[in-house]
Amino acid sequence: MHGLGNDFVVIDNRNSRIKNLKKLALKLCDRRFGIGADQLIILGSSKKADFRMGIINADGSEVEMCGNGIRCLAKYIWDNKLKVKSSSKKLSIETLAGIMYPEKSGSLIKVDMGEPVLEPDKIPVTIRLSTVIDHPLKVKDKTFRITCVSMGNPHAVIVVKNVDSAPVETIGHEIENHKLFPKRTNVEFIQILNRKNIKIRVWERGAGETMACGTGASAVAVAASLLGLADRKVTIHLKGGKLLIDWSKKDNHVYMTGPAVKVFDGVVNED
């Protein structure tokens, strides 16, 4: 499945039969010797919600949340008519970042991503400030100004004049693994088109540059608003397409709306 080109292998493991998920992710996500994907998405059972979502990066590391991935998992659940615990129109899906609530929005899927986290120790980022907004960060003799947000996972947002020429491949990895980020970080390079439209490129922690990132788009909307560069409701233009992000004034939650696509299904041998 994919959400704007951010692609996943989705596996139903509600019976918990598959044990070594890291090894499986390394095998299946390999684009030359496996199926090929940015991440392995695991559907599991939950005592707290309708279902549980596990997310393993292509490098075998586990992450807390994936915005494009949760839309794909919701579509998988609806397409396969899996039984839910509640009668609500919203699904409840347990993640390491908390319980998320996807719902249908026409042909798209809308997800309540929760409130953005701005406290450095909770993101986490080891900077002793109340918030990290437009903060200088020196990498390879160049200084970048970062705004840090967590949407259940850490993000460092950098405003550039031209995102197409931004040093995503060379600097993304350096910032991801910078000592300021004890759990590493996702990195977004963003170009403000106007107050309602932002163009971005994403370097995802554990996956490299991807076509799209739902939590990244959410973090970008929050960061751009905090910097006074954009409205709270914006369209995020990613390599793989568009996401609508609304940082609601009513409840301070971020709402992400976008597509999810099934590419194919099949059976994988265990050996």
Q: Which residues are catalytic?
A: 66, 213
Q: Position of tokens 């163009």?
A: 199
Residue 130 CA to residue 89 CA, distance in Å, equals 38
Q: CA 246 → CA 78, 114, 255, distances in Å?
A: 24, 11, 5
Which amino acid belongs to residue 6? N
87, burial (CB in 10 Å: exposed 0-12, middle 13-18, buried 19+): exposed
DSSP letter at 49 equals S
Cβ burial, residue 112 (10 Å; 0-12/13-18/19+): middle
Chain length of the chain: 271
CA 211 to chain centre: 11
